[in-house]
């Protein structure tokens, strides 16, 4: 039996009829067509499905849609504002922190969560924070560089670029 759930996603209210066992990732992708949230492993191991739930990185493949009711959900689609990329998105672009892009939405959202609680993380702290997000392409160094650049940008300091 379906249940109506009210979800706040990227600052917009949505009402969706869902099965009680429907996963948030399924509702985002299949019902609301927010396909930037990827389905990778269905076991919470890869992090491709990561969204922000009240600002905290959450794996949407292990979160029921009914559990998200009353919370603010941010997906990768909700980051850019006024046609401008979020500083983390821009840093991933500038520092080549992505290759195939499959892990990128979840990785970016996890890194935003990190910088909200630690605006100046060390390389070791960045690597620890992204342990729950698997990337099969980059070798992670460019992701770490992107997070470091985003941290500077998000603190308002000028970002140094290398040639």
Per-residue pLDDT reduced to its tens digit, 97-131: 999 999 999 999 999 999 999 999 999 999 999 99
pLDDT band at 139 (very low <50, low <70, confident <90, very high): confident
Average pLDDT over residues 31-37: 97
Do residue 95 and residue 71 come from a single domain? Answer: no
**Predicted confidence (pLDDT) at residue 161 exceeds the cutoff of 60:** no
Boundary of a domain, candidates 21, 52, 78: 78
Ranges of H-type helices in 15-163: 24-26, 87-94, 104-117, 123-129, 141-154
Indicate whether 46 and 111 sit together in one domain.
no
For residue 43, name the pLDDT band (cuts at 50, 70, 90).
confident
Q: Has residue 17 been placed in a domain?
A: yes
Q: Determine the average pLDDT of the residues in 138-159.
A: 89
Answer with the one of 61, 78, 95 that is the final residue of a domain. Answer: 78
The answer as to whether 142 is a domain residue is: yes
100 burial via Cβ count (<10 Å: 0-12, 13-18, 19+): exposed
Residue from 7, 131, 147, 146 nearest 63 by CA: 7
Identify the CATH number of the domain in which residue 10 sits.
3.10.20.30
Query: How far is CA 81 from its chain centroid?
Result: 15
**Distances, alpha carbon 25 to alpha carbons 21, 65, 141, in Å:** 12, 8, 28
Which two structure tokens, joined as six digits, stand for 125?
A: 């702290």
Residue 143 and residue 130 in contact, taking contact as beta carbons nearer than 8 Å: yes
Same domain, 58 and 93: no
Q: Which domain holds residue 8?
A: 3-78
163 pLDDT exceeds 80? no
Task: Assign residue 143 the CATH number of its domain.
Answer: 1.10.150.120
For residue 157, what pLDDT band results from cuts at 50, 70 and 90? low
Q: Which two tokens stand for residue 84?
A: 């401008």
Does residue 162 form part of some domain?
no
């Amino acid at each position: 039996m379906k249940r109506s759930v009210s979800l706040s996603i990227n600052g917009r209210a949505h009402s969706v009829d869902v099965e009680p066992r429907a996963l948030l990732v399924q509702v985002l992708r299949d019902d609301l067509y927010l396909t930037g949230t990827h389905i990778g492993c269905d076991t919470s191991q890869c992090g491709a499905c990561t969204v922000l739930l009240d600002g905290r990185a959450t794996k949407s493949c292990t979160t029921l849609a009914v559990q998200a009711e009353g919370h603010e959900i941010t997906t990768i689609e909700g980051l850019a504002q006024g046609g401008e990329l979020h500083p983390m998105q821009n840093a991933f672009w500038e520092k080549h922190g992505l290759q195939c892009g499959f892990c990128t939405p979840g990785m970016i959202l996890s890194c935003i969560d990190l910088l909200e609680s630690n605006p100046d993380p060390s390389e070791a702290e960045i690597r620890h924070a992204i342990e729950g997000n698997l990337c099969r392409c980059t070798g992670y160094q460019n992701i770490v560089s992107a997070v470091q650049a985003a941290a500077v940008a998000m603190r308002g300091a000028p970002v140094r670029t290398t040639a």
